[in-house]
Amino acid sequence: MHLFYQPGVDSQFLTEDDSRHAIKTLRLSIGDEIAVTDGHGNRHLAVITVANARRCEFRILATQTTQPRPFSIRICVAPTKNIDRIEWFVEKAVEIGIERISFFFGQHSERRILKLERLEKIAVSAMKQSLQSFLPILDNALPFEKLLTSVGEEQRFIAHLPDHDPPVNVAKKATLGGRYVVLIGPEGDFSEKEIDQAVGADFQMVTLGPNRLRTETAALTACQILNFINT
Amino acid sequence: MHLFYQPGVDSQFLTEDDSRHAIKTLRLSIGDEIAVTDGHGNRHLAVITVANARRCEFRILATQTTQPRPFSIRICVAPTKNIDRIEWFVEKAVEIGIERISFFFGQHSERRILKLERLEKIAVSAMKQSLQSFLPILDNALPFEKLLTSVGEEQRFIAHLPDHDPPVNVAKKATLGGRYVVLIGPEGDFSEKEIDQAVGADFQMVTLGPNRLRTETAALTACQILNFINT
């Protein structure tokens, strides 16, 4: 069954995009059953009552509520120079499972502008495509220092090779069922100052594997590992 | 130091692409040191002797030989309708670590043509970018049945939800240090016949996590999990 997204709790109609998709593209009509998620864990089985391509209305027949996962993953990443790479990361992270994606501009960031709108659309379609009922939070980019102060998660990691100590994979430091946050630096990596600030804010330095990874690959790998150890 | 790729064992000159990159883009000149990998585990420290933008020659100063990993990962995947998705998979899989990527056309494959040349270039640049000394093998697409007969790896998995038995994650079936091969179906999934053929060829049905994943996401996730359990 086709899955649509309507964040409005009591709004029994599809967004304009989804209405067009349902009526024009999928040619659904009155009486057809659809699935609608609110992105907050509720998934409705619904029936189309008004087959309008601008405002397709539906009546909810049943609602299935999913509980949030017993762990949460937040990845904070510096936008890449080539925005396609971040778009890929957002799509893939949402598919495999993530609660929150935050962006930041570091001292070595080449990109200083980030538009969330397109990324939010990618997140919504990835949520639908992977049949999930939760839409991850996407946060606007903050300067690195401001980002650090926004972190409430208790299991804090920064993907950075320590100078002295032997590198430890994030899986070895993470304890199961926690609230994780991982910082992934820009192509130019974190500055010394940023590393110190993160360590000062109780972030532990971890690696994500033996190879040198691109920013978006590191971000996705951190997400994969934290998902995997909790499954 | 800049890493270049010269598969020829005794060829102490860069390819035309790499020569142009070294001399025109990076403006390297005689006496500059470079790193050159042959893609077979050897990495040379070399010095430029002829700074020709068409044929940059070098002299090897030292060679560092890396042993192959104690395990090997081969992912066999049906090319996606949108080839960007397979290009993304190849880049990411090479970055995180993979020995071989094979392509196949299934009964439900939408795409019936695959050009390897561009994928090979992506693999080479991902190998360089992640500072590795081994270039994974890329195999031309085969019909599914032919692909099955080409498999020599002993740990065989097919990413498919079994009808009766509870799904088991590939990590639970894989034993460490093995030679793995994983089959990832097209957007239209495997046909019943293909599942039977694979099971008949000793492939075990496994899942890659709780969510429904796109073809290229499933392929990368299988690669991530098998890498992770072996690190």
Which helix or strand (DSSP H or E) is residue A165 part of?
Answer: none
- Residues of B whose CB is below 8 A from A171: 228
Q: Which residues contact B117 (CB under 8 A, 6 or more apart)?
A: none
ipTM of the complex: 0.90
Q: Is the pLDDT of residue B163 over 80?
A: no
pLDDT at B10: 81
Q: Residue B44 phi/psi, 5° resolution?
A: -100, 140
Consecutive H or E run containing A177: none
Whether B161 shows a pLDDT value over 80: the answer reads: yes
Structural contact between residues B198 and B182, judged by C-beta atoms closer than 8 angstroms: no
- Report the residue of A214, A224, A229 to disrupt the B interface, i.e. the one with the largest count of B CBs within 10 Å: A224
- Rounded to a whole number of angstroms, the distance from the CA of B170 to the nearest CA of chain A is 11
Interior/surface letters A33-61, b for 16+ CB within 10 angstroms, e for the rest: ebbbbbbeebbbebebeebeeeebbbeee
Describe the strand order of the beta sheet including B3-5 as a list of residue ranges.
B3-5, B33-37, B42-50, B57-65
Average pLDDT over residues B14-28: 95
Interchain contact B224–A (C-beta under 8 A):
yes
8 Å CB contact of A209 and B132: no
* B65 pLDDT higher than 90: yes
Q: What is the pLDDT of residues B70-113, one digit of tens each?
A: 999 999 999 999 999 999 999 999 999 999 999 999 999 988 89
User: What is the domain partition of chain B in residue ranges?
Assistant: 3-65, 72-229
The structure tokens 């990443």 sit at A77
Yes or no: say if A223 and A98 are a contact pair by the CB < 8 Å rule.
yes
Name the one residue in this structure whose structure tokens are 């997400």: A223
Per-residue pLDDT tens digits for B121-155? 999 999 999 999 999 999 999 999 999 999 999 99
Please determine, for residue B9, whether its predicted confidence score (pLDDT) is greater than 80: no
At residue A196, the pLDDT reads 96
Write out residues in chain A with pLDDT < 50, as ranges. Answer: none
Per-residue pLDDT, averaged over B162-181, amounts to 91
Q: Is A217's CB within 8 Å of B169's CB?
A: no
Predicted confidence at residue A219, as pLDDT, reads: 98
A98 contacts on B by Cβ (under 8 Å)? none
A217: helix, strand or coil: helix
Q: Which of B92, B130, B209 sits opposite A96 (nearest CB)?
A: B209
Confidence band, pLDDT 50/70/90 cuts, at residue B1: confident
Instruction: Summarize the confidence of residues B160-166 as an average pLDDT.
Output: 82
Tell me if B93 sits within 8 A of B182, measured CB to CB: no
CA torsion B11-B16-B22-B26 (nearest 10°) is -170
In the sheet that B155-159 helps form, which strands lie side by side, from edge to edge?
B137-143, B100-105, B72-77, B179-184, B155-159, B204-206
* Spatial distance between the Cα atoms of A50 and A190, rounded to a whole number of angstroms: 53
CA B26 from chain centre, in angstroms, equals 27
Three-point CA angle A178, A179, A180, nearest 5°: 105
Identify the residue whose tokens are 């050159």. Answer: B36
Burial category of A69 from C-beta neighbours within 10 Å (exposed 0-12, middle 13-18, buried 19 and up): middle
Cβ-Cβ contacts under 8 Å, A129 against chain B: 212, 214
From chain B residues 140-179, the ones with a CB under 8 A of any chain A CB are 169, 171
Task: Return the sign of the alpha-carbon dihedral for residues A137, A142, A147, A152.
Answer: negative
Residue A132: list chain B partners with CB under 8 A. 211
Taking an 8 Å cut-off on Cβ atoms, the answer to whether B92 and A211 are in contact is: no
Q: Rounded to an integer, what distance in angstroms lies between the CA atom of residue B108 and that of residue B194? A: 10
**Residue A40 half-sphere exposure toward CB, CA atoms < 13 A:** 6
8 Å CB contact of B221 and A225? no
Residue B117 class from Cβ within 10 Å (0-12 exposed, 13-18 middle, 19+ buried)? exposed
Q: Both ends of chain A: CA-CA distance in Å?
A: 27
B3-65 in CATH: which number? 2.40.240.20
Beta bridge partners of A64: A43
The reported pTM is: 0.93
| A131 CB within 8 Å of a chain B CB | yes
Nearest to A224 by CA among A159, A129, A135: A159
8 Å CB contact of B231 and A210: yes
Q: Report whether B133 contacts B66 (CB < 8 A).
A: yes
**Residue B79, Ramachandran bin (φ over 0: left; ψ between -120 and 50: alpha; else beta):** beta
Query: Could you say which of A169, A171, A213 has the minimum Cβ distance to residue B95?
Result: A213
- Report the mean per-residue pLDDT for chain B: 95
Question: pLDDT class for B59, splitting at 50, 70, 90?
Answer: very high
Distance from CA of A227 to the nearest CA of B (A): 9
Question: In CATH, what class is A72-229?
Answer: alpha beta
Calculate the dihedral angle through the C-alpha atoms of A35, A40, A42, A46, rounding to the nearest 10 degrees.
-30
